[in-house]
């Protein structure tokens, strides 16, 4: 599993094939199929290894209100996927249903239900937060940590014609917004919106 995760981390999801993994392990694909039913099975097990890291880090949730618990869960998942930048793309291939993914999902759904979310709203809230994290993690996977920092510092919009693009020119020092800042801002907006829906007694 370590070798498979390394391939995904270093070269991306597209590089992870049964043949490539067998080669790295000095084995054969036939031998691999004794341990994994298919590449899809391999992907699910890799993903579950990553979910294990998030599960351990959020066990238990902080003894605070649901808003902080949601933030803790989302930020931890984003951080873990940031450490395994090829795994986010693998999450597009199948719904994670390994033991650690199930525990993490159960913990998140229970937290929402215990804090007054109607079942349909709890399901949609958890799914939306998970998709939000995944979307940002996929973007993170397309850049190295160094390149992301450098891009945020480049004067991308300063050379623009201030007459043609006055608003953009005025905000040139604020743009582009670093991905991590966008993530934190969007997460706060989402939680604020969920708070309103919960307070209104919305079911979905």
Q: What's the confidence (pLDDT) of residue 164?
A: 94
Per the model's pLDDT, the better-predicted residue between 146 and 43 turns out to be 43
158 falls within a domain: no
Q: What is the pLDDT of residues 107-121, one digit of tens each?
A: 999 999 999 999 999
Q: Where are the beta strands (DSSP E) in the chain?
A: none
- Residue 110 belongs to what domain range? 2-142+174-199
Q: HEC states along 64-97?
A: CCHHHHHHHHHHHHHHHHHHCCCHHHHCCCCCCC
Segment 9-16 shows an average pLDDT of 86
152 falls within a domain: no
160 falls within a domain: no
Segment 159-183 shows an average pLDDT of 91
Q: CA-to-CA distance for 141 and 89, rounded, in angstroms?
A: 8
Q: Which CATH number is 12's domain given?
A: 1.10.357.10
Q: CA-to-CA distance for 97 and 151, rounded, in angstroms?
A: 36
Q: CA-to-CA distance for 189 and 162, rounded, in angstroms?
A: 31
Q: What is the pLDDT of residues 27-70, one digit of tens each?
A: 888 888 888 888 889 999 999 998 988 876 665 665 568 999 99
162 falls within a domain: no
Q: CA-to-CA distance for 6 and 86, rounded, in angstroms?
A: 9
Q: How confident is the model at residue 150 (pLDDT cuts 50, 70, 90)?
A: low
119 falls within a domain: yes
Average per-residue pLDDT for the chain: 87
Q: Domain tally for the chain?
A: 1
157 falls within a domain: no
């Amino acid at each position: 599993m370590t070798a498979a995760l390394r391939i995904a981390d270093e070269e991306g999801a597209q590089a992870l094939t049964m043949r490539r993994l067998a080669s790295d392990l000095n084995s054969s694909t036939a031998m691999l199929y004794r341990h994994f039913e298919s590449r899809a099975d391999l992907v699910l097990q890799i993903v579950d290894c990553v979910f294990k890291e998030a599960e351990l880090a959020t066990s238990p949730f902080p003894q605070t209100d649901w808003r902080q618990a949601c933030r803790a869960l989302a930020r931890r998942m984003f951080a873990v996927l940031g450490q395994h930048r090829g795994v986010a793309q693998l999450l597009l291939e199948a719904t994670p249903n390994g033991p650690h993914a199930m525990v993490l999902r159960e913990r998140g759904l229970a937290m929402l239900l215990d804090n007054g979310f109607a079942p349909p709203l709890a399901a949609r809230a958890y799914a939306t937060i998970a998709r939000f994290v995944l979307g940002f993690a996929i973007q993170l996977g397309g850049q190295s940590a160094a390149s992301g920092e450098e891009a945020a510092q480049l004067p991308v919009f300063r050379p623009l014609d201030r007459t043609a693009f006055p608003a953009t020119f005025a905000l040139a020092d604020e743009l582009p917004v670093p991905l991590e800042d966008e993530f934190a801002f969007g997460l706060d907006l989402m939680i604020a919106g969920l708070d309103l829906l919960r307070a209104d007694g919305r079911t979905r």
